[in-house]
Amino acid sequence: MMRLLKRILPSYRAVNKVDKRIKDLSGKINRIENQIKDLDKKNEYLFYCSQSMEGESIAETKKRFFLNMPKEDGDLRIIQKGSAYILKRLKEICDKNGIMFFLEGGTLIGAERHHGFIPWDDDIDIGMLREDFWKLWGILKDDEELSIHYYYMYNPNKIPVSSDLITKVKLKSSDIFYVDVFPYDCVDTDDMERFFEQHNEYSKELHKELKKYFEQKNYQQKNYCIPQAEPSFDNEITEIIKKKLIEYCYKKSGNTVVLGLEQSFGFINRCGIYKYDSYFPLIKECVAFEGEKYYAPKEYKNMLNNKYGDYMCLPTNIQPCHLIELAGLSDSERTFVEQIKD
């Protein structure tokens, strides 16, 4: 026994020393990271001080700075203009048919901060209640120019395994220009924290069923990084979602609004669940985006702060999210955008 202890103890002490060194290094790294954040804040403050005009507050300087930022150019700007055209067409269709949608995510930040796209952004996000979402599907089936489809992405190689189901409205003649549409569901709950956990579990169950469905169809995704559409599946996917919504007791109305079940499980966070009164009534045509006025949630500024922190700051990462699309523009798509009237 003593021999065994003599052999084990040195190794045990060595492991303890390594653990202690790791904890010490982790503490030092955290302190350095905090110091860098403090320096970033100081530098940012000094930058805006240098840009301010006489009698102008820092908040006013920031607002002027972002509004005066130059637009993107080149292929990225072509994609932005093409997608903005679809958004404008969607507004015309929705207004005509009594459908309400609101800007959200980076699109809402762009509207609030730049009155258009964030210069380096490359897509558009909108949200609407589930009932309007289904109504839009029915209307766009007969539209001559626009189409609506589910885009599925399943990556078995990612840990944890990720899947996503995104609804996109796009030109029938192009996959490059599109608007992402996010449905929102309603429930009655007095315990948002508990429901949040339930909702994520429901989302996981839905995605298991979607995965099973695609496997039965022998669906082979060409690229795990890019959502793929298979229009022939749309009706059956809709029925799967509707069945789950009924099973889990989601309603047309309720005191709580939550990001739709089909969004990527594990992606839905507490920024995707709010009291109904925080969203509605929507503020009509309160934000400008690429020359048009759009709706926003009632408490949209608080929502942006909750999700992004101080959104009147430049992010650390400034580059388009969908770089592969920048390499895919065709001559016909370029010509289409050139013909759009400002």
**pLDDT on residue 266:** 46
Mean confidence (pLDDT) of the chain: 85
Instruction: Tell which residue, 173, 5, 8, 156, has the closest CA to residue 82.
Output: 173
Which is higher by pLDDT, 243 or 263?
A: 243
Is-contact 200 265, C-beta < 8 A? yes
**CB burial readout 69-86, b (16+ within 10 A) else e:** eeebeebbebbbbbbbbb
255/298 Cα distance (integer angstroms): 15
In a domain, 47, yes or no: no
In a domain, 44, yes or no: no
In a domain, 38, yes or no: no
**CB burial readout 231-244, b (16+ within 10 A) else e:** eebbeebeebbeeb
In a domain, 328, yes or no: yes
In a domain, 62, yes or no: no
Mean pLDDT (whole number) for 273-279 = 92
What residue numbers bound the domain in which 184 lies? 76-338
Phi, psi of 170, rounded to the nearest 5 degrees: -140, 170
**pLDDT on residue 106:** 93
228-229 and 178-187 strand pairing = unpaired
Give how many domains the chain has, as a whole number.
1
Query: Is the peptide bond between 160 and the residue preceding it cis, with omega within 30 degrees of 0?
Result: yes
Mean pLDDT (whole number) for 154-161 = 55
Mean pLDDT (whole number) for 331-340 = 88
287/338 Cα distance (integer angstroms): 26
208, 230, 120, 292: CA torsion to nearest 10: -110
C-alpha to C-alpha distances, 102 to 81, 218, 239, nearest whole angstrom: 19, 36, 25
In a domain, 181, yes or no: yes
Is-contact 298 227, C-beta < 8 A? no
In a domain, 48, yes or no: no
**pLDDT on residue 225:** 52
Would you state the structure tokens that stand for residue 223, as one six-digit string? 């690229």
**pLDDT on residue 212:** 87
**pLDDT on residue 14:** 62
